Amino acid sequence: MIKDYEQFKEEIYKISSIDLSAYKERQMKRRLDSLIKKHGFVGYDDYVKALKEKKEIYDEFITYMTINVSEFFRNTNQWTVLEDTVFPYLFDKFGKNLTIWSAACSTGDEPYSLAMVLSRFMPLSRIKIIATDIDEQILSKAKNGIYNEKSIAGVPKDLRDKYFEKIGQSYKVSDEIKKCIQFKKHNLLKDSFPQKVDLIVCRNVLIYFTEEAKSDIYKKFNKSLKKEGVLFVGSTEQIIQSQRYNFTSDQTFFYRKLGEVGEA
């Protein structure tokens, strides 16, 4: 019998490997309570039984708990800085065969946006981006690459005309862009991180985590990046005391790795 939220978190970790302790409790419980109410379950115990027995309930839980809000070229000004300043810096430092990781990529808007920007600098055949998320349903949607008009509103016209096909009321990403992205399932709180990465893009995700969880992830991002590599975060996620993680901010929302965590 599950009596409280602490026991519920333990059960969720057993069946999903998602550690709800790393998420801000108030926000997560609010989302959770709305799910339980929606289905008419009586408390955590009934809900966990349903999660174990019904795949559709489990899949809905994963999608709802791992907040998926995304759009192409979100916060346009930051993408301008990426294109005009950050990419030229990275090319100068590491050459054009960059290793890029889009972490917690959600529906794929972000890695596809990255590939489109890079296409202005090099042939698509040279672009390889790792894109990861914990939600397999969302990854499946990302691989399909079909979006509504609102999602692609921020895409520059030249890129929209070149890389999207209108299908009814929807827009499909071109197969050429799709080939640039390798989608994988990945849990930021549990799984090992890619190594020797030149650019990590992780935006509008860590705001849902506790300070302890964020600190741990920043340390892992530092280890994942090459020295002088760059971490690109969301518009509400500026890193307080970034020097603790041996990052410096040359541009707002972009953090350059100075060395390993703990190095002077």
pLDDT at 64: 75
Q: For 6-39, how does the pLDDT look when each residue is reduced to its tens digit (9 = 90+)?
A: 899 899 888 888 888 888 888 888 888 888 888 8
Q: Give the long-range contacts of residues 76-81, CB within 8 A, separation 24 or more.
A: 76/154, 78/232, 78/235, 78/253, 79/113, 79/117, 81/251, 81/252, 81/253, 81/254
β-sheet bridge partners, residue 257: 247
**Torsion angle, alpha carbons of 90, 93, 95, 100, to 10:** -40
Domain boundaries, the chain: 5-65, 76-257
With a pLDDT cut of 90, the percent of the chain lying above it is: 67
Instruction: Name the one residue in this structure whose structure tokens are 């998926």.
Output: 68
Phi, psi (rounded to 5 degrees) for 164? -125, 145
> Band of the pLDDT at 84, cuts 50, 70, 90?
very high
Beta carbons within 8 Å of 113's beta carbon, 6+ residues apart: 72, 73, 79, 155
β strands within the chain, DSSP E: 100-102, 129-133, 146-148, 164-167, 170-173, 181-185, 197-202, 225-233, 247-251, 254-257
Task: Indicate the pLDDT class of residue 58, thresholds 50, 70 and 90.
Answer: confident
Question: Who wins on pLDDT, 55 or 69?
Answer: 55
What pLDDT band is residue 3 in, cutting at 50, 70 and 90? confident
Residue 185: pLDDT above 60?
yes
**Tokens standing for residue 226:** 């090459």
Is the pLDDT at 245 greater than 90, yes or no?
yes
For 155-184, what is the mean pLDDT?
96
Q: For the chain, what percent of residues have pLDDT higher than 70?
A: 97
Helix, strand, or coil (residue 66): coil
Fold topology of 76-257: Rossmann fold (3.40.50)
Q: For residue 17, what pLDDT is reported?
A: 80
Rounded-to-integer distance, Cα 216 and Cα 231, Å:
15
Assess whether pLDDT exceeds 80 at residue 66: no
Beta bridge partners of 147: 171
Q: Measured between alpha carbons, how far is 214 from 125 in angstroms, rounded to an integer?
A: 35
Q: Mind listing the pLDDT tens digit for each residue in 95-115? A: 999 999 999 999 999 999 999
> What would the two tokens of residue 57 be?
């309930």
